[in-house]
Structure 1
Amino acid sequence: MIEARGLEKVFKIKGKRGSKERDSSDPRDEGKIFRALRGVSFRCDKGMVLGLVGPNGAGKTTTLRILSTALTPTKGSIIIDGEDYSLFPNEIRRRIGFLSGTTGLYPRLTAREMVQYFGRLHGMEGKALNHRMDELFERFGMQEFVNERNDKLSTGMKQKVNIVRTLIHDPSIFIFDEPTTGLDIMSVTVFLDFLTESKHQNKTIIFSTHSLHEVETLCDQIVIINRGISSFAGTSAALKQEMGEKTLERAFAKQIEQRESMEGAA
């Protein structure tokens, strides 16, 4: 189980050339900051798939990075399996597999060497590691290029390597940021089937996507994030009913328009 409670994240806006973006909660920085998240809350239980959707720049990636422990929230908390992750960060990180949309691959390593490296980071060795790698390589149709260098791989092949790297240690919580980007239709089908099976194995799965077809096909619940706020949490059917629309695409667009009109009026 993973739960977000009132997440806020504030970044200082970059100033002069070469200055670095940094976390800022100092009131003296008011007017010089960007509030990426302004109160995001939701819960995803074991055996559930939750889809995080919203416009570009809405705060989805920031939310996922906080869930994965890659970022620390300015305010709010993350509860994982009943524990505040800030109290046991190393233990909880071992339960998580996180695929970031900006994750890179070491160019001089082969696909196999890359996955093996991350498996060893998670304490895996020997036959257990090799068996797990072969199992995932076969599942995602990677046998033909596992010994190719990463810098020689296509965009879709690189994404498969990143997916397997995320799953190598068999985490109980999957967090994916737009995982099907760059994948062909067959590979997307294999990946979605894998998530469905993982759900039945009682995994907790959260992923962001711009494909509402994927959301409607796979997700038990959706959370809409817009302008750093979680503006809806519930089922696809509930969103369509609330918005009075027959398709998820139209319901999503209407919900975004209504929220933006409310914020504009305020």
Structure 2
Amino acid sequence: MASPPAIEAVDLVKRYGPNTAVDGVSFAVAPGSVLGLLGPNGAGKTTTVRMMTTLTKPTSGTARVAGFDVCTHPDQVRRHMGLTGQVATVDELLTGRENLRMIGGLLGIRRKHLVQLTDQLLHQFSLSDAAERVVKSYSGGMRRRLDLAVSLLASPPVLFLDEPTTGLDPRSRSELWEVLRALVAQGTTLLLTTQYLEEADQLADDIVVIDRGRIIAQGSPLELKQQAGRASLVVTVADGADLEAARALLAGTGTDVFVDAAARRLTASADGLGDMIEVAGRLQDSGIAVDDIGLSRPSLDDVFLTLTGHRTEDTEEVSA
């Protein structure tokens, strides 16, 4: 028998006056998995998270976290989840260790256990060497890691991350991804909102694409990429090779071929690896020398453009 969802949204709606920020959003997240809630600023991602974490009451619909209804059992929901928002909420005038001990004390964690837990989290998030430094001296990546460590003090089985890598440099973002993968490996369930398509591709088992408050697609990263069309077969012939003969050979597969003569590159649609192997064999049999041949699948950016007609440009999100 399948386990019940660790996170479930049920026809969530949020209106602010005449404006509808979230319009009938429903999805479920299996225990120990990662759901990426993907969309541009203004899509309704943050509003959805606020409803699911009891910070905002739904206009209609509901959600369940760790089996508890956010409308009827909000206290139980808060006890079973952690939340990391878009902006780190740690105290800049305290050290990393002091931040953890302060929040742990507010959570009622016994002192002896809190000392051990603080050391454990500082080590887990690679902050031990900076534990006695005030947070205002931390880099952006260090602050985000400390913020995440604070959210894990109560060992919640469910963690909500609202654009956790916004403003981080590529190295800090990559380091945080590794931390998140380790949490999932330990059994934590994550709901991750992001406007970074690469981030959703890297971390999420399933993705929900939301635009203007509505879900417009959902599925695994591969399933969504398949919605954007077939893969592309890209062939770069060797200098001096017969480009027209190569074009005719690729056209024989029944697809249009785009030719970049200056780069000696030909691009045609393909169904998968089998097509690439077949074309490579034909090129070899025809004596056409090739410098490179590869298969390129649509990116999540292609998916978003196909689904919405625009990329993840910034818009203003309705809020109150």
TM range, normalised to the smaller chain? 0.7 to 0.9
RMSD of the alignment, in Å? 2.1
Output one character per residue of 1:30-69: Cα deviation in whole Å (capped at 9) or x when no partner: xxx3211111111111011000110111111111111111
Residue 11 of structure 1 pairs with residue 19 of structure 2 = no
Q: 1:255 aligns with which of 302, 307, 314?
A: 307
Whole-Å Cα distance in 2 between the matches of residues 126 and 8 of structure 1?
Answer: 42
One-letter code aligned to 1:46: P
Whole-Å Cα distance in 2 between the matches of residues 213 and 243 of structure 1?
Answer: 16
Residue 224 of structure 1 pairs with residue 209 of structure 2 = yes
Whole-Å Cα distance in 1 between the matches of residues 190 and 57 of structure 2?
Answer: 20
One-letter code aligned to 2:8: E
Uncovered stretches (5+) of structure 2, i.e. residues with no partner: 1-5, 231-297, 311-320
Aligned residues: 239
Secondary structure, in 3 states, of the residue corresponding to 2:309? Answer: helix
Partner of residue 177, structure 2: 192
One-letter code aligned to 2:9: A
Output one character per residue of 1:68-93: Cα deviation in whole Å (capped at 9) or x when no partner: 11111111101223332322211221
Partner of residue 69, structure 1: 54
Please report how far the alpha carbon of residue 209 of structure 1 lies from its aligned counterpart in structure 2 after TM superposition.
Answer: 1.7
Q: Structure 1 residues 147-156 or 107-116, which shifts more?
A: 147-156
Tell me the percent identity: 34
Q: Taking structure 1 as reference, are residues 186 and 155 closer, same or farther at Cα in structure 2, changes over 3 Å only?
A: closer
Residue 136 of structure 1 pairs with residue 137 of structure 2 = no
Please report how far the alpha carbon of residue 211 of structure 1 lies from its aligned counterpart in structure 2 after TM superposition.
Answer: 2.3
Q: Taking structure 1 as reference, are residues 242 and 3 closer, same or farther at Cα in structure 2, changes over 3 Å only?
A: same
TM-score under structure 2 length normalisation: 0.69
One-letter code aligned to 1:4: A
Whole-Å Cα distance in 1 between the matches of residues 217 and 122 of structure 2?
Answer: 37
Output one character per residue of 1:231-265: Cα deviation in whole Å (capped at 9) or x when no partner: 1111111111122152222112211218xxxxxxx
Question: Which runs of structure 2 are paired with 1:11-50 in the superposition (5 Å)?
Answer: 11-12=16-17, 33-50=18-35
TM-score under structure 1 length normalisation: 0.82
Whole-Å Cα distance in 2 between the matches of residues 234 and 201 of structure 1?
Answer: 23
Q: Taking structure 1 as reference, are residues 124 and 50 closer, same or farther at Cα in structure 2, changes over 3 Å only?
A: same
The answer on whether the counterparts of 1:50 and 1:219 sit within 8 Å (CA) in structure 2 is yes
Partner of residue 164, structure 2: 179
Uncovered stretches (5+) of structure 1, i.e. residues with no partner: 13-32, 259-266
Structure of greater Rg: 2
Whole-Å Cα distance in 2 between the matches of residues 143 and 201 of structure 1?
Answer: 21
